[in-house]
Structure 1
Amino acid sequence: MAKNTFREPARAAKQKKQRRRIWMASWLNDFIGLDRLFGEDNAWPIRHIDRILWVTFLLVLYIGLNHNAERLVRRIQRTKNQVDELRAQATVLRANFDKSGKQSELAKRVVGLGLTDSENPPHKIVVKSDEH
């Protein structure tokens, strides 16, 4: 009968991780042919392909986020310029509206209709309370 012994958990986890790494490296090597590219005696890139891919993914993600941030900054600046232009236009329109309501401006506009300001001051009409 066989003798019972304790299994070393660290070694088993290391073997499982090593098998996963070897599986990924061998699959990539079969698919791409990295041993032809680096040579069969130089297995460093093949052994560390998972780290290389991870760093590549992080670099692509960083570049993408940087482009997105720059695009947002440009869009914000464009919107700020549009808001400034609209604010200036609103100020000009309000000033023109306020100016057009003055009595002198109204008199200039109604001259074409034949209306003029009266030369006499207005008369005050007084109504007694018993009259109406």
Structure 2
Amino acid sequence: MAQNTYKTPLKAPVVKKKRENRLLNYLNQTIGFERLFGEDNPWPIKHLGRILWVSFLLILYIGFNHNAERLIRNIQRVKAIVDEKRAEYTTLQADFKKSGKQSEISKHVIATGLEEPVTPPLKIVVKSEEATQP
């Protein structure tokens, strides 16, 4: 048979005491949220931490949007500058190629007092038979 034992009393569940938020109490005392929202309406005071967190996230979101818009404006400005430089490069390159032609060179040479030879250069033609013989 089983022995008689004492019943151990059930322990009462431990209720954790909610930690008071000193910052919220300080703000409530200095700003007077109870006076603003009424003493019977504790909702803003209870959720002030969440309200501040969401406000911080909104400010961060707005800051990122402003930064993105600034970057887009900078990219568009630089793109316009690059297009301008590309057009300038193409123009200068065309002018340079044009200045290398014989007709342009002869204009500059005549301005200095030199004359271009009247006879055109001779073309030397080598027949294939002569090129192969030593």
Per the TM superposition, whether the score is higher than 0.5 is yes
Indicate how the Cα distance of structure 1 residues 121 and 79 shifts in structure 2: closer, same or farther if over 3 A, else same.
Answer: closer
Aligned twin of 1:62: 61
Aligned twin of 2:105: 106
Runs ≥4 residues deviating over 3 A:
3-8, 121-124
Indicate how the Cα distance of structure 1 residues 123 and 34 shifts in structure 2: closer, same or farther if over 3 A, else same.
Answer: same
Amino acid at match of 1:19: R
Amino acid at match of 2:30: F
Return the index of the structure with the highest Cα Rg. Answer: 2
Amino acid at match of 2:19: R
Aligned twin of 1:19: 19
2:19 is paired with a residue whose SS is helix
Q: Distance in 1 between matches of 2:110 and 2:103?
A: 11
Structure 2 length as normaliser, TM-score? 0.75
1:53 aligns with 2:60: no
Structure 1 length as normaliser, TM-score? 0.76
Indicate how the Cα distance of structure 1 residues 29 and 119 shifts in structure 2: closer, same or farther if over 3 A, else same.
Answer: same
Amino acid at match of 1:110: V
- RMSD of aligned Cα (Å): 2.2
String of CA shifts for 1:51-95, please: whole Å, max 9, x gaps: 100110010000000000010011111111111110110011011
In the TM superposition, what are the counterparts of 1:1-132 in structure 2 within 5 Å? 5=11, 8=14, 11-12=15-16, 15=17, 18-20=18-20, 22-122=21-121
Amino acid at match of 1:43: P
Q: CA deviation at 1:32?
A: 2.0
Amino acid at match of 2:32: G
Indicate how the Cα distance of structure 1 residues 120 and 89 shifts in structure 2: closer, same or farther if over 3 A, else same.
Answer: same
Q: Distance in 2 between matches of 1:55 and 1:67?
A: 18
1:40 is paired with a residue whose SS is coil
Paired residue total: 115
Q: Distance in 2 between matches of 1:123 and 1:69?
A: 67
Indicate how the Cα distance of structure 1 residues 84 and 121 shifts in structure 2: closer, same or farther if over 3 A, else same.
Answer: closer
Indicate how the Cα distance of structure 1 residues 122 and 6 shifts in structure 2: closer, same or farther if over 3 A, else same.
Answer: same
Q: Which runs of 5+ in 1 are unaligned?
A: 125-132
Larger helix percent? 1
